[in-house]
Structure formats: structure tokens, C-alpha cells
Structure 1
Amino acid sequence: MTINRKEILEAIAKAKQNKGERKFKQSFDISIAVEGLNPKKPESRITADVTLPHVPGKPQKILFFADGELARRAREAGADRVVGKEEIQRLEGKKKEIKKLVEEYDMTVAQADLMVLVGRILGPVLGPRGKMPRPIPSTADPAPLIERLRKTIRVMNKGQLCFHTKVGDESMDDEKIADNVMAVIEEIEKKVSDAGGRLKAIYLKTTMGKPVKVVVK
């Protein structure tokens, strides 16, 4: 599928015209329909992590599972919360408390040797929400990863033939929204192609506005 930036900018302009006046700031969303995948097959359940050039709204909140030196470095690098091994073990069987913790954060990272423990105790809550942690070696510098995740969104099709995600808000400059749209399309197209499928159609809309189809070739 060939997508021209000019067509994306035209669709953004039309979507803004269609948004109508609301008493709140509307988000700018993208929907990508795909074909050639079998929703019943596990390989058709696609997860794509997209680093946006321009963060719409507040940066992502990071939950970091680590002990010792890595925990210290994660705090210094700005992780919103650091949870160690003892606290992870204390959460075992406390599903309500785990849900509350998980819902407070957007992205998670875990020290590599804590991944099994995190998966066993928090996995049943993290997994369905698309928040399973990225592993990091205990000797690594967490700062670059945390900085990148602040601008990263996780997009999933959850076994459906479409993807939906926020790419901006109505107050953002059209060029910045277009940058984000291009980043999402590029990553989704790569993941879908790897799974044997292809993009079918792309739509842009504001929260309460009518969808505008992006012209593709």
C-alpha cells in the first residue's frame, strides 16, 4: 500500500472540519482495517509498539520491576514507580491490588531475572491489558529505554481485522499529527505484512467527528 503524506494531511484537515464544537479537547484517532489474516489464528493477534515523534497529552507512565542497582538507576532515570522482588511476592493472590497497580501505569519494564516472577504473579492482569513488561538486563542503563517508552504506544488488534489508536488531539499542528500517523502506519504495515496480511483501508477522525478515509494507492 502506497501512502502519500499529502493525502494524510488532506484527511487530517477534513477530519478537523468535521469535528464539530465540543466543550472538551477531542482526540485524533486512526483506524486501520487489514485483510489476509485469519482472526482465529494466534499469529493474527498482532501487537505493535510505536514510538510517536510527538506525544499527544501527557507522557506514558512507567512501572519498573527491579532490585538493587538497577532499581536505583531506574528511579534516577525517572521511572514513575519501582517495585522490587519482595513487593512483587507480597502481591501474590491479591488480584484487586494488582489490578489497581497495573491500571495506574501505561508501560512496564522488568529486570530480566524477575520476568518469570512478574509473569507468574502479575501476568494474568498485565497480559490481557497489553502491558507485559519489556525485559532489561540488571547491568543495563534504563534511561534510554524509559525515555523511549515515554513516547511509545502499544497498538493491538486483539484478534480483529482492525487497529485503533490515538495519534494526537485537535489542538496539535497538522504536520505533527501527520508525523504520528505515518509512524503508526509504518509499524502496523510491517507487523501485518510479517503475519501474511496487508492493509485494506485507513481512517482518521476526532472523538466526536465523522471518519475520513485516507486516499491510498
Structure 2
Amino acid sequence: MDDHRVSPACAVLMARRDPLPKGSPRVPSGSSPPENPATMSKIDADLMTDSISKILAYAEGKEIKIGKDAVKGKKRPFQETIELQITLKNYDPTKDKRFAGTVQLPHGPIRNLKLCVLATAEHAKDVASLADPRVEARTVEELKKLNKNKKLVKKMAKKYHAFLASQSIIKLIPRLLGPGLNRAGKFPTPISATDSVSSMVEEVQRTVKFQMKKVVCLNTPVANVSMNVDQVRANIVASVNLLVSMLKKKWQNVKTIYIKSSMGPPFQIFF
């Protein structure tokens, strides 16, 4: 099981999909801001590359240098994620507008997500053809059996990291399941009749979300330790660009940025 230890400056706030207060700005789902040299110049490129290299080496069980100390890494029996931990400043979540935005990262999947597709018969066949144990389908008939039971819907919401749904089923969800998925921050991503289920699954697996709630720290997975340095760096750049674009005062609202693997030490890349 992942041990999500955090940087000294930041308490963990996992990215969720909870509804936002009325009037809060959103970045369109699936938006992917281009790399902005002016934005990323705030982060030392060499420092970021060195930090990523150490994270990957540590995850391989190699010895790395942290300051003057030599630290022996440890290879885990599971795939660790690489997390971005950001602390904000000059931002009052009780007064300033909250925000949320999603970005499809260049490289994925980020982590092994367990997904559920609320599917038409055709999409259910597509899910079966994937032969992927992480992706399951539930038909309308199966959803009807839940009978809007709050405990059963909550149990289903906890079982999966994210949901997708055939476009024709989206409008039936409130009647079939009530508000349970929405309250859990897991309202399904729609799949149109022309969408490929496999491509939509891949899209969800490389999508991350930032959402400001009641604290000024954000923590979200942006890569995993099986990726190479360039892939991790590209995902970090896309994630940071999205977050900074949503902040009222841009970089003036950013206090610190750390990156770390699930079980490894944090590395500060913005001071």
C-alpha cells in the first residue's frame, strides 16, 4: 500500500471531483496548456531534472545523494506514483474563489486505476474485449438492482477510482443511482456512440485534476516510476502550467513545489 508521505510544508489534499461553489471558475475538462517557457523559467530546469533522476534512482533501489548524505533507495513490489505537492501563498480559500481544472498529461497511465464503465450493451462488449482486470462494466439492468440504495451506491463509488458512462446512460444516473457518485466526486466521464472505449479509458488514466478546497496545499499524482526522466518532466510541466494558469496572481500565489515518489523522500523544485 502506498505511504503518501508529504513535504514538510504541505499537508496532503488529494485531487477530487467534488462540485464547486456557484461562480467558481473551471478550466475545461481535458484542456492541456502548452509548455510556456516564461512560466517554467520560474523552476530551475537542471534542478528539476536532477530531482527526477534521484526519484527514479531511489525507486530502483540505488544510492542517491541528498545534500551531503548518501541515502540507499528501495525497490518496492508495486508501482510507485510520482506526486506533485504544491503550497500556495497570498490565497485565502475562505474568501477567494475556489477553482478546479483537469489536464490530460502527455504520458500515461499515471497509476493503475480501477475504472467502471456504466455501459450500453455495445460498450459492455467493448469493455469485455479489453480483457483488462482494472476495467469493469455495469449495465443499466445491474444498476437498477442497486435500487438507489445509498449504502450500495457508496460501496460502488469506493470500489473504483473513476467512472465512465455511455452518453445515453448519463441522463439516467440520477434516477438509477441518486446523487451518490456526484457526492463522491466521481461523476462519470461520458462516452459517445462514436468514441472508442479503449481510448477513453486511456484518456482517463492520464488525466489529473487540481481542485482548491479549504486548505492551501494541493497534492496529485502526475507520473510513475516506470517512466523516464523526459516523460516525468513533461507531465510535471503540463500540471504546473495548468495550476499556475488558474491562480489569480499566477506565480505570486505559489509558495513551494515538491515532487516525490509514493515511498521516497521529497525534493523541492520551487522555493
Assess same fold via TM > 0.5.
yes
TM-fit CA distance, 1:31: 0.6
Work out whether 1:175 is the aligned partner of 2:215.
no
Work out whether 1:134 is the aligned partner of 2:189.
yes
Give the alignment's Cα RMSD to 1 decimal: 3.3
How far apart in 1 are the matches of 2:178 and 2:93?
23
TM-fit CA distance, 1:69: 2.9
Work out whether residues 102 and 207 of structure 2, in 8 Å CA contact, stay in contact via their aligned partners in 1: no
Counterparts of residues 1-217 of structure 1 (less than 5 Å): 1=39, 2=41, 3-13=43-53, 16=58, 17=64, 18=66, 21-22=73-74, 24=76, 27-35=81-89, 37-40=91-94, 43-58=97-112, 60-76=113-129, 80-119=135-174, 121-122=176-177, 124-169=179-224, 172-190=227-245, 192-193=246-247, 196-199=248-251, 200=254, 201-215=256-270
1:89 and 1:198, CA in 2 relative to 1: closer, same or farther beyond 3 A?
farther
Work out whether residues 52 and 153 of structure 1, in 8 Å CA contact, stay in contact via their aligned partners in 2: no
Three-state SS of the structure 2 residue aligned to 1:214 is strand
TM-fit CA distance, 1:41: 6.2
How far apart in 1 are the matches of 2:191 and 2:120?
12
After TM superposition, the runs of 4+ consecutive aligned structure 1 residues lying more than 6 A away are: none
1:39 and 1:6, CA in 2 relative to 1: closer, same or farther beyond 3 A?
same
Work out whether residues 61 and 150 of structure 1, in 8 Å CA contact, stay in contact via their aligned partners in 2: no
The TM-score with structure 2 as length reference comes to 0.62
How far apart in 2 are the matches of 1:42 and 1:93?
36
Q: Deviations for 1:98-126, whole angstroms, at most 9, x for unmatched residues?
A: 23322232221112232233245546432
1:121 and 1:30, CA in 2 relative to 1: closer, same or farther beyond 3 A?
same
Q: Deviations for 1:103-160, whole angstroms, at most 9, x for unmatched residues?
A: 2322211122322332455464323443211123335433321222233334433343
User: Alignment identity in percent?
Assistant: 23
How far apart in 2 are the matches of 1:98 and 1:107?
14
How far apart in 1 are the matches of 2:74 and 2:164?
37
Structure 2: stretches of 5+ with no match in the other structure: 1-38, 59-63
1:97 and 1:42, CA in 2 relative to 1: closer, same or farther beyond 3 A?
farther
Q: Deviations for 1:4-36, whole angstroms, at most 9, x for unmatched residues?
A: 533311333465544654574654321122346
The TM-score with structure 1 as length reference comes to 0.74
1:89 and 1:151, CA in 2 relative to 1: closer, same or farther beyond 3 A?
same
How far apart in 2 are the matches of 1:84 and 1:204?
40
TM-fit CA distance, 1:53: 0.7
Could you say which structure has the greater relative contact order, defined with CA pairs below 8 angstroms and 6 or more residues apart? Answer: 1
Work out whether residues 28 and 167 of structure 1, in 8 Å CA contact, stay in contact via their aligned partners in 2: yes
